[in-house]
Structure 1
């Protein structure tokens, strides 16, 4: 089937601008005026572009989550467009200021249809719940299963995923080299530190002091577009504060894993975070000392999200961490089994084998 974009708007001026952009990237438009007609093309369209004039009516349909959805309008309507971003699972294209980004995103969508990797986002509901350990363990498990895996540290104020994997001394690009990335970047394989079958993107460690690096939503989206084209599985470890880059990654992810501490305070904190995450693609990993005493049914009822796995604290995991062993390497451990259970929720299609690395 030829690539095409479903365009939903009755705003003639906006439609003219959208058609010009689509022509520039070689994407055939299929213009629709009735939100109900979008349902028939929702899954098959290469991209879906929703005019701000139709956003509310389309959101009311409750269509399932998908990638490459955009809500578009004029710059002066930016606040209104942003209001529909989460309900629609859509990136905001306020025009003309976002013209170049929008064109790049549409061009990227045409390339992703032939072999898109999956994106899994991990976010902790509270500090210290072990979300970074879970993200690293998921990457170790996926790589051991033969998937081309990249692990991205989106929480540069945390302890660092490179430490968890013993990669802090390895050569390769870190976030400072990509802090100004926009539009398109090529395949990052071969540029990033590589350990145990995992490409790794983290912050800087050691050396001379540098100014703090803040990852912007556009920079993170640029990197994620690259890695989901080149890798079978991208795992991004996100901070629990809900900045635009966190919401952008959660919006793009096929699965967002919310790591919840198994006690009442952890559950209360999770409710605050879950309210901002897209419910269609978010599942819960329940972990902690008291996990056996907290019913998954209670958690699901409280959060309105399914519990994908329960993970009790285990002494062997702490001992392994103290010895510098990557988490998740012991496949029969509670953590290893939980990772396989989580990855089972995210069917991954392996991309063609890349030359140069096995």
Structure 2
């Protein structure tokens, strides 16, 4: 009796042989930082100018970056800070950058734990009062004379959550100079909600001392240019036709100029095309990718609901 071949063998052998539409999949991931960011020169320059006093050992203004999802806020902030880090190392300056996504963290406590871990501090994931976590962070900064930039992504989630809690994390951070004997904390808040400040405690607003930078949505033509740049890094030459690029840009542009959505469409379309042994990413796979992404998002949203609501949607 002939032994039945395992389909996994051909899949893995194909991967080993290097047969792929992609040359660098990482270039299509959300955490990828490109070498240049088209159509965001104004925002990049503004952030650089606002942060530059740190290079003279002075505390810069706090920053709030506003814009719809996929307008480039997070990647621009990380891009500027990557360049900033290169400059500080070149001139033997010591600046610490700590990052947390408030929505993914889920609570003020977890945000602080993320920030503490970014500063190489040991901090339990649960069990301490907010005030104790803050004090440990302040002590670490003071004892080591640290110049720190805290990036809090989706900070609007934190502000809305604070309305229903007794914690004063944001208020304390905006007044951190009162708790520090040396060093300083500068905050970069990133928000998808243009009305985010309406949720802030008036005390936080008065002590924030922030500058604001708006990120407008990308146009469809701009999205096409952005995709072309990513394709140069991510795909083999001539594997993505212009019609596919235009469709990704049009679908993402019809929402709110969402570059993240456009890049995700392109990535998933490429993966679907590759699994079908295609040599090019034709438009069909963009349409399939759009349906798959939407289906996955609905499923993830339902997973977060209480049990009785899950049962209603899954009937």
TM-score normalised by length of structure 2: 0.26
Computing the radius of gyration from Cα coordinates, the structure with the larger value is 2
By percentage of residues, which structure has more helix?
Answer: 2
**Structure in which a larger fraction of residues adopt strand:** 1
